[in-house]
Amino acid sequence: MTITKTLTAALLASVAFVGQAAAACEITLRSSDTHPDGYPTVEAVKHMGALLQDRSDGRICIEVFHSAQLGEERDTIEQTRFGVIDLNRVSMGPFNNLVEQTKVVSLPFIFRSVDHMHRVMDGPIGDEILAAFEPHDLIGLAYFDGGSRSFYNSQRPIESFEDMAGLKIRVMQSDIFVDMMTAMGASATPLPYGEVYSSIQTGVIDGAENNWPSFESSGHYEVAGYYTLNEHLIVPEVLVMSKQSWDGLSADDQALVRQAARDSVPVMREMWAAREKASEDQVRAAGVQIITDIDKTPFIEAMVPVYEKHVTSDELRDLVMRIQATE
């Protein structure tokens, strides 16, 4: 009896608490992510939401819709521009055809390492690129990590540049990546992320390319048993806000949102490092063949025409030079 009473009281209290918390949020920002719950980018935006709620005395909250619940990245970018989605965590790749400056940080081998990428994106170049989103109805808030991307496929181990010939590889929907694959001798298939698993399984494509956490969390490693660590891309990820939603906030609230986004970055980086390791362990344990010994030089050399085709203005040339000159 006592126990039942206590339980009932606790239940009522928690219902009341949930009700209160929900009622207290005057503004709830809806945030999109293609990755599943628990993935570092999803958790980072949740962390940002907790900071924001705390700092706004409960007025501003974030609801994260993970697992592409709001759609595939290209569609959610459009919805964010139109104010249907408030926040969106996306790779820079799908922005390439919209925000020209994002092309520069999506070029193959533009960054020498993830540390180099951090030094560039944490400095003035990163700020310039964030600002470049605004004319496209988006506010760039912060960068997250996407590690480095490598090739995986279901057919055979890629041990040299020549092994790329004839493979059908999925890329993110950006012309740079299509040209990159063609220059590497493979055939590029741009597809939404959510279609990759079944496309490999049914043989529509032979493989794709991604970092350890995505290779693992998407389950692609179950259908693509060869992973070659050639690390051709280090593409930063970005958290953007709809300019419409942004314009609806007071200047003070805008500052709170920007700061909470920035403060989520170190937390994200820590979670990323842990997840990279855990994902690698899981993929290795599943028996995927990992090829580490590969000469990157021919891959790098083959990218000259890709740079020539896509780095077309003085602004982009200057960005490339400044990135390369960053220690």
| List of residues contacting ligand BDP (CB under 6 A) | 34, 73, 90-91, 146, 172, 193, 210-211, 214, 237
CA separation for the pair 256, 291 (Å, rounded): 45
CA separation for the pair 259, 276 (Å, rounded): 26
Q: How far is the CB of 3 from ligand BDP (least distance, A)?
A: 47
Of the two residues 103 and 253, which places its CB atom closer to ligand BDP in the complex? Answer: 103
Q: How far is the CB of 216 from ligand BDP (least distance, A)?
A: 11
Of the two residues 270 and 295, which places its CB atom closer to ligand BDP in the complex? Answer: 270
Q: How far is the CB of 170 from ligand BDP (least distance, A)?
A: 8
What interhelical angle do 124-131 and 114-121 show, nearest 10? 70
Q: Please report, in angstroms and rounded to a whole number, the separation of the first and last CA atoms in the chain.
A: 69
Q: How far is the CB of 210 from ligand BDP (least distance, A)?
A: 5
Q: How far is the CB of 316 from ligand BDP (least distance, A)?
A: 22
Of the two residues 60 and 143, which places its CB atom closer to ligand BDP in the complex? Answer: 143
Q: How far is the CB of 255 from ligand BDP (least distance, A)?
A: 27
DSSP letters for 131-148: HTTGGGTEEEEEEE----
To the nearest 10°, report the CA torsion of 66, 71, 74, 76: -70
Output DSSP code: residue 248.
T
Of the two residues 34 and 230, which places its CB atom closer to ligand BDP in the complex? Answer: 34
Of the two residues 39 and 61, which places its CB atom closer to ligand BDP in the complex? Answer: 39
Neighbour-count burial of 57, counting CB atoms closer than 10 A to its CB (0-12 exposed, 13-18 middle, 19+ buried): exposed
What interhelical angle do 124-131 and 314-325 show, nearest 10? 150
Of the two residues 53 and 106, which places its CB atom closer to ligand BDP in the complex? Answer: 106
Of the two residues 73 and 179, which places its CB atom closer to ligand BDP in the complex? Answer: 73
Q: How far is the CB of 245 from ligand BDP (least distance, A)?
A: 20
Residue 152 parent element (H or E): strand 149-153
Closest to 50 (Cα-Cα) out of 70, 32, 25: 25
Strands 207-210 and 149-153: antiparallel
Residue 239 parent element (H or E): strand 237-242
CA separation for the pair 252, 265 (Å, rounded): 21
Of the two residues 175 and 315, which places its CB atom closer to ligand BDP in the complex? Answer: 175
Contact (Cβ atoms closer than 8 angstroms) between residue 176 and residue 101: no
| Distances 40 to 44, 45, 79, 292, 327 between C-alpha atoms, Å | 6, 9, 23, 25, 27
Of the two residues 73 and 280, which places its CB atom closer to ligand BDP in the complex? Answer: 73
Q: For residue 201, what are its two tokens? A: 């399984």
Q: How far is the CB of 153 from ligand BDP (least distance, A)?
A: 15
Q: How far is the CB of 213 from ligand BDP (least distance, A)?
A: 7
